[in-house]
């Protein structure tokens, strides 16, 4: 019984760990896109 619970905990741990990595990459991607948008907006704005 205890082994079963430990296995479930391990699977959940791995799943959460993978999710954290995926969301970190996604956050980085969104951050870069937003940064590029703001940067291009600012440079277009300063040209005017």
pTM of the entire predicted model: 0.47
pLDDT in tens, 5-25: 667 777 777 777 777 777 788
The predicted pLDDT at position 48 comes to 63
Mean pLDDT value of segment 27-43: 90
And the tokens for 36?
């590029």
Q: Provide the b/e sequence for 2-37 (b: ≥16 CB within 10 Å).
A: eeeeeeeeeeeeeeeeeeeeeeeeeeeeeeeeeeee
Counting residues of the chain whose pLDDT is more than 70, the rounded percentage is: 81
| Residue 29 or 18, more confident | 29
Per-residue confidence band for 4, with pLDDT thresholds at 50, 70 and 90:
low
């Amino acid at each position: 019984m205890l082994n079963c619970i430990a296995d479930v905990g391990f699977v959940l741990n791995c799943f959460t760990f993978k999710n954290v990595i995926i969301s970190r990459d996604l956050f980085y991607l969104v951050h870069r896109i937003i940064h590029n948008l703001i940067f291009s907006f600012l440079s277009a704005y300063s040209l005017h």
